[in-house]
Amino acid sequence: MVFSTNAALLDAIVLAVVSKEEEGTYGYKITQDVRQVIELSESTLYPVLRRLQKEECLQVYDRECAGRNRRYYKLTQKGMSQLWMYINEWRMYSGNITKILEGGIRS
């Protein structure tokens, strides 16, 4: 893709993916879900998850799975508010860009 994904957009995408699972979800699944829309490595994802946790947008807990602990991430109330802010900003931003790009075409 020729367009880059900045930190705010990546945060928005991760919060949106995590919000789909009421009980939370784990890192590998988040990576797989995000990869459906953008290319993302796990080494890129985990710093984002840590930052969102530090900003109190994500709650983290461990759950046993097949004899091992798996770290889960769940949206906090602050995370949900942040996601709604991103959604509203994205709607305005993407709508304006679409107007310019599509409005600039002359036949």
Structural domain boundaries of the chain?
7-103
For the stretch 45-91, pLDDT in tens is 999 999 999 999 999 999 888 888 999 999 999 999 999 999 999 99
Report pLDDT for 83: 98
Q: Which residues neighbour 97 within 8 Å (Cβ) at sequence distance 6 or greater?
A: none
pTM of the model as a whole: 0.88
pLDDT at 105: 62
Q: Which CATH architecture has domain 7-103?
A: Orthogonal Bundle (1.10)
DSSP 68: E
**Percent helix, strand and coil across the chain, each rounded to 5?**
55, 15, 25
pLDDT for position 107: 55
